[in-house]
Structure formats: structure tokens, C-alpha cells
Amino acid sequence: MLLGVEQPTVFLRPGILMHVLSLVNISKAFSAPNILEGRQTAAASGQRDCGTVDSNQSGTSCSAQNGAGGSNQSGTSCSAQNAAGCNARNDQQPQSLNILGAINFSLSSGDIVALTGASGAGKTTLLQIMGLLDRQTAGSVVIQGEAFESTISGAFQKRRAAVRKKFIGFVYQYHHLLRELTALENVMLPLLINGVSTGEAKKKASALLDGISLASRLTHTLHALSGGEQQRVAIARALVNEPAILLADEPTGNLDNETAEQVFRLMLGLARERGVAVVIATHNMEMAGLMPRHVHLNYGHLEELPKSQKEFRA
């Protein structure tokens, strides 16, 4: 039993790489004051920065005119032009935003999972927590039998980094490649960080890039690569350390439809070839519907959708 929620039996199956157990994530946020009522917030807090005033004697109204001036005797009115004028300090208490609530999820070797949801639903937050880049408020992420909860300690953070480096690869909507390095050097970098010799790293990275039709681009820097080629290099970099899990956040979001499909097929083909479990956050419902598993995030809750009758062929 964890946090009062019984663990579903699905989490007890052998061969599971990752469990997400009763995951909760609550974010704290300050609400911004309503600019048109900024005078009220300003008066309440005693903090304001009024740029322009009008001739209202009470000092409680705002002028919407650009550069309007006047002789306001109280000096508490302001301009609402361009949502500016009175910059009142927000003294309200932070509000709790329930981003994720009681999520249970499992990922086995070779799983290919589409993660969908509206913008702002929490897809990126969930991926970052699953990838040990962010911490949940409550619950556990279990990777290869090792549980990671919301603990904050130096030793625990080092362990999270070690597991992340060993088991997890990441692909983002923006490639995040280093512009000063060539395609080959970008893919070699994770290997070098892991202590692989330069010769071996070069051999392994070259073979991977060759396998995705980039053998002629090894020595090219980013400015010489197309958007699709840059994203293919990013995928190669994510897979070069042979992770057990690949987490991809809108990996084709910046590409045109034709290039996006090519990159999508390439990524899934490499993942299947290597037996990597993949979770892909996407807004492309057509592609999501063709993946073997499809989960949808809605108001902080994760729903497993029925298995598609079709299958995406890489």
C-alpha cells in the first residue's frame, strides 16, 4: 500500500522497467493581479508604480489613453494602456495547482506508448518526473526496481543522476544539440561523459549515424543540417548509450508533416530494433492512434485508451 492507494496488480508483472505509483504533482503559483483593477490591489498592498495619471480627483480610476496626463491629487491612478501603468505587488498567498493526481502507470521492455493531452495538461511535467529530471509532490517512480520518491538530499540527487544517465534517453521538440560541435561529436558526447574512450565513442557514434543515413554529415555542424537532420542527430544522441527507456517530448513538433513522419518512423524503428521502451508526448492524434499503447492525460489523470486495431509500421 502506498499513500493509501493499493498498487494495481499490473505493477507486479515481470519485465517492467518503470512503475509510476500514485504520482501526485502540485505546483505553487501566484495569481497575477487584474490590471484594470490594479488600483485596488495597489491601494491594498501599498506598493505601486504609476507611470501616467489622469484628472480624476478621487484617484481611483485608470486612463486607457496612451501617455495621458493630468493633475491627480492622490497620485494613485494609472494607465491601463498595454496592460501596464500600475505595477502592483501581488501580496496574495500562493495557490496550489494540481498538475498531476494519483497517476499509476507501468512501462515494460519494448513498449511504445503515445502520451496525449491538451496543451497545459501536464505531459511535459509527467515526462520530466518519469525521467527523474523533476520531483513529484507524492508517490514514487520505480526504475528497474529502485524507488525514487520526493526526497531531497545530495546523495539521493546523485543517485537520480546516475540512474538517469544509465537507463534513460531524452528527445525534445527542440534538438538541444551543441552548435559548436559536429553531428558526430554531438553523438559522441554522452559516451565520453560515461567514460568511453574517444576511439570507441567515435566508432559507435559513426555506426549509429550511418544507420540513419547521415554518414555523409558526420563532420557538419548544425548550420549545415536541415531541421529533420538535426532531430535525427538528437535521436541518435539519445540512443547511443543504449538506454532502456526513451522519453520524447513533441519530438516532431517543429517539423513539417512529411519530415515529421520520417523522423517518427526512424525513432520507432531504432527503438524496436534495440528493444527500448518509448513514451512519446504528441499532439498528432493520427500517429498516436497507430501506436501499440495510447494514454491520455486529462485534468491531471491518466487514462489508458483502447488498443488501436492499426499499428504504426516503422
- Grid coordinates given for 218: 558526420
Domain ranges, ordered by start, for the chain: 9-25+98-304, 35-83
- pTM above 0.85? no
Per-residue pLDDT of 220-273, as tens digits, reads 998 999 988 998 899 999 999 999 999 999 887 777 888 788 878 888 888 888
Positive or negative torsion for Cα 129, 135, 139, 143: positive
- Grid coordinates given for 44: 491594498
CA 124 to chain centroid: 3
**133-139 LR contacts (CB < 8 Å, sep 24+):** 133/164, 133/170, 134/25, 136/23, 136/24, 136/25, 136/100, 137/24, 137/25, 137/26, 138/3, 138/22, 138/23, 138/24, 139/2, 139/3, 139/20, 139/21, 139/22, 139/23, 139/24, 139/102, 139/103
Q: What is the pLDDT tens value at each position of the chain, 314 positions in all? A: 222 223 332 333 345 777 677 677 776 554 554 444 444 444 444 443 434 333 344 444 343 344 444 444 444 333 333 333 333 334 555 667 778 888 888 999 889 999 999 988 889 999 999 999 888 888 889 898 888 888 777 788 889 889 998 899 998 878 889 989 999 999 999 999 999 999 999 999 999 999 888 999 999 998 999 988 998 899 999 999 999 999 999 887 777 888 788 878 888 888 888 889 999 999 888 888 888 899 999 888 899 998 765 565 55
- Grid coordinates given for 212: 540513419
In the Cβ-directed half-sphere of 206, how many Cα atoms lie within 13 Å?
A: 8
Query: What is the amino acid identity at position 105?
Result: F
Please, what is the angle between helix 198-211 and helix 227-239, to 10°?
A: 130
Per CATH, is 9-25+98-304 categorized as 3.40.50.300?
A: yes
Q: Which residues, 6 or more positions from 151, have their beta carbon under 8 angstroms from its beta carbon?
A: none
DSSP-assigned states of every residue in 118-153: -TTSSHHHHHHHHTTSS--SEEEEEETTEEE-S---
Query: What is the amino acid identity at position 185?
Result: E
Query: What is the amino acid identity at position 112?
Result: I
